[in-house]
A = this chain, B = another copy of it.
Amino acid sequence: MPDNTHIKFLLDEDEMPRSWYNIMADMPNPPAAVLHPGTHQPVTPDDLAPLFPMALIMQEVSTERYIDIPEPIRDVYRQWRPSPLYRARRLEKALDTTARIYYKYEGVSPAGSHKPNTAVAQAFYNKEEGVKKLSTETGAGQWGSALAMAGAFFNMDIEVFMVKVSYQQKPYRRNLMQTFGATVHASPSNLTNAGRGILAQDPENMGSLGIAISEAVEVAAMSGGTTKYSLGSVLNHVLMHQTVIGQEALLQMERAGDYPDVVIGCAGGGSNYAGISFPFIGEKLRRGLKTRFVAAEPMACPSLTKGIYAYDFGDTVGMTPLVKMHTLGHDFMPPGIHAGGLRYHGMAPLISQLHEEGIIDARAYHQNATFEAAVQFARAEGIVPAPEAGHAIKAAIEEALNAKEAGESPVILFNLSGHGHFDMASYDAYFAGRLQDYEYPAEAVAEAQKRMPQVV
């Protein structure tokens, strides 16, 4: 019986998860190997050691179901975790739906999104192994500000390559990183070979996540070990750190007296969607449940719905290992949609494989539709969502309205991955009718495929 008297389901501090959940333990098939970019042979831990601390490399390949969360990380987490789970009663009323809609809210973290869940963990493990500085990339700035905050907590230097178009359009995110003490560069920059190479070909290049990754990886690789590289999504260990979200939600849904029929999240690199869904997917796989899983992505950068499942680089220049994933091609330059966190050419290998195996569905939306959903949500629930999270809201509203049509009463759970306080200019553009909807050209993937690495 659902609890119809509460709208907020909190957990005690001591109910915060004590371990991360590793979905590799429950997947029907082992994940595809990660390949060396030069030899196309499986990478070894030693290959990755210049970029990552050994503890994270070991997490990347672990098949243990649970990995303990060290106490210093939990100590930081508990400032805002367990995060609240809400029943969206006012939204349900506004939609006049028979569905019960729940959302997990990760915007309560000091950086305003789910990103600190892994930023704090990565800073901790690097600090433990004596690393002084972390380099990273950021698009919209959610990830960069999370790592900047973690760097402030663990007294580490943070150097962020921020996609140039966002650096110019989102000065407040940049100011936030600087307030936390980080150094922020517009990417492509003149500070790296990768950046100089891009600028030599195209001095007006406005940057992409792929290019910024190339720059940040180069800084770490050339540092002689003092600087390591930190990634905010895509990798197995990053997704695993986010599973605190779904583990808490499992317990909170139980308190609410409900269990989701469908679990929804937006997906760019895949980390917030993994966070909310993996623990529920684990339940489904182990217990044979019928739960549906929906990843919502932008029409302008539709890796799961339009990309191909193939080996590709994680960055634009081709410095990273090759991973098997849904990709639009490592040189794909996504249009300047306002959900900057979803402008990535690839998708996390674990999410890609689960999609390929039919466990996760994906849907793509145009940005105007996601802003319309976000505004409806804001007026009902008071929380202004990040444009990325607007994609999850759009999918949740679609599910709720379909249920009403069909006379059904499903339980819908989505992850509200962050607030939109730093994205108000995007709302302004939406209200002014200045947002453009971009269709991904059907022939583009076949073209991109020709430029992808040919793995035998």
Interface residues of chain A, those whose CB is within 8 Å of chain B, are 6-8, 10, 12-13, 75, 78-79, 86, 90, 108, 110-112, 116, 149, 152-153, 171-173, 175-176, 178-181, 375, 378-384, 419, 421-422, 424-425, 427-428, 431
Contact indicator B78/A8 (Cβ below 8 Å) = yes
Of A111, A149, A380, which is in contact with the most chain B CB atoms at under 10 Å from its CB? A149
Check B110–A383 contact: CB distance below 8 A. Answer: yes
Q: Which of B8, B12, B171, B431 contacts A79 (CB 8 A)?
A: B8
B-chain residues with CB within 8 Å of residue A181 when the two chains form the complex:
379
Give the chain B neighbours of A425 by CB distance below 8 A.
171-172, 175
Q: Would A180 and B378 count as touching, CB distance under 8 A?
A: yes
A8 to B195, CA, bound (A): 44
CB atoms of B379 and A180 under 8 A apart: yes
A-side interface mostly: helix
Q: Do the beta carbons of B152 and A7 come within 8 Å of each other?
A: no
CB of B178 within 8 A of CB of A381, answer no
Minimum CB–CB distance for A447 against chain B, Å: 38
Candidates B13, B86, B149, B383; contact of A382 at CB < 8 Å: B149
Report chain B residues within 8 Å CB of A10.
10, 12-13
- The residues of B that contact A422 with a CB separation of less than 8 Å are 421, 424
In the complex formed, the residue of B with least CB distance to A371 is B179
Sample (24) of A-B pairs whose CB atoms are under 8 Å apart: A79-B86, A79-B382, A90-B153, A111-B382, A112-B421, A149-B382, A152-B380, A153-B382, A171-B425, A172-B424, A172-B425, A173-B424, A176-B421, A176-B427, A178-B427, A178-B428, A179-B379, A179-B384, A179-B431, A180-B378, A181-B379, A421-B421, A421-B422, A422-B424
Please, how many angstroms separate the alpha-carbon atoms of A86 and B425 in the complex?
A: 32
CA distance A422 to B422 in the complex (A): 7
- Chain B residue numbers with a CB within 8 Å of A383 are 110
